[in-house]
Amino acid sequence: EGQLRVDANVSVHHPGEPYGVRTEVKNINSMRFLAKAVDYEIQRQIEELENGGTILNETRAFDAKLGCTVPMRDKEGKQDYRFMPEPNLPPLILYDAKSLPANLNHQQVVNIDWIHERLPDLPSVKRAKLVERYGILPEHSFTLLNEDGLTEFFENVVKDTQMKPKKVIGWILNDLLSYLKQHSLTVKESPVSSFLLADLLNLLEKKEISSAAAKQVLAELWKGEGKTPLEIVKEKKLELMQDQKELEQICQAVIDGQENEVIMMVLG
């Protein structure tokens, strides 16, 4: 069950003058009480100062029944919070690239620009980069990031294959991911590496095999027997015939062996 707890720091001052002494109203548990506590505290401090009094640096609580703030403890001394120096923690000084003194060892100071440059991208930025770099759909970028290791797998395949990323993403999401989910495996546990899938897609892109044959090869690769896509293609005789003359000879032989059927087709 969620509960709201808000601390409000309030001080008043005339325009152009330094900020006044602040008070802290602790543990306010609703937005309505927060507004009432702040309004009351502002008015209380103004009246106190106009009457010649002083504002104490203190912690106060808001009494919802009375509609006012009441003092809890003052904050004049750090000892109230048990502050003490820690000898093993030296002062932390932050620099940016412009303010960093030249005579300091850059490895011994905190350079916020250096840290910022090395922060990983937020998911939204990563998705935008994937869409822009590879031309994939935004919904595909969500899937790539939601599956641990899938983005790296996809990018490795794209790097090692001649197939366009828009086609690669289909094989990744529709085929590989289906296999993984069917066998309850993670991307890192896949028996089909990015290199093997890239090899397979290269065969398909070069028109050495058909799309249907590629799916057969992928099913064989999934068995994890250590065979390459090309070895499976040759073993299963899945190559597409590239020699047109040879293909014509085969077609002619089929026609010659079916004279009656050919005559019937010619006569309609």
Q: What average pLDDT score do residues 153-157 get?
A: 97
Torsional sign, CA 196, 127, 164, 174 = positive
Range of weakest confidence among 6-15, 74-83, 85-94, 168-177? 74-83
**The predicted structure's pLDDT at residue 1:** 58
Question: What is the share, in percent, of the chain residues with pLDDT greater than 70?
Answer: 92
The neighbouring-strand residues paired with 23 are: 10
**The predicted structure's pLDDT at residue 192:** 95
Question: What is the share, in percent, of the chain residues with pLDDT greater than 90?
Answer: 63
**Cα–Cα distance for residue pair 190/205, rounded to 1 Å:** 23
User: Each residue of 99-119: pLDDT tens digit?
Assistant: 888 777 766 788 899 888 999
**Cα–Cα distance for residue pair 216/227, rounded to 1 Å:** 13
Q: What does the mean pLDDT of the chain come to?
A: 88
User: Each residue of 53-69: pLDDT tens digit?
Assistant: 999 988 999 998 999 99
Q: What average pLDDT score do residues 242-266 get?
A: 79
Residue 250 or residue 172, greater confidence:
172
H-type alpha helices, 53-207:
112-118, 123-134, 138-146, 150-160, 165-170, 177-182, 194-205
Helix (H, G, I), strand (E, B) or coil at 26: strand
**The predicted structure's pLDDT at residue 164:** 95
Six-digit token pair at 247? 């293909």
Band of pLDDT at residue 35, cut at 50, 70 and 90 = very high
User: Each residue of 185-215: pLDDT tens digit?
Assistant: 999 999 999 999 999 999 999 999 999 999 9
Six-digit token pair at 150? 């899938």
The answer to whether 61 touches 70, Cβ cutoff 8 Å, is yes
Nearest to 176 by CA among 154, 159, 160: 154
Task: Please work out, in degrees rounded to the nearest 5, the angle formed at the alpha carbon of residue 181 by the alpha carbons of 177 and 183.
Answer: 120
**The predicted structure's pLDDT at residue 99:** 85
pLDDT exceeds cutoff 80 at 79: no
Q: What average pLDDT score do residues 122-129 get?
A: 94
The answer to whether 103 touches 94, Cβ cutoff 8 Å, is no
Burial class (CB in 10 A: 0-12, 13-18, 19+), 99: exposed
**The predicted structure's pLDDT at residue 81:** 53
Band of pLDDT at residue 141, cut at 50, 70 and 90 = very high
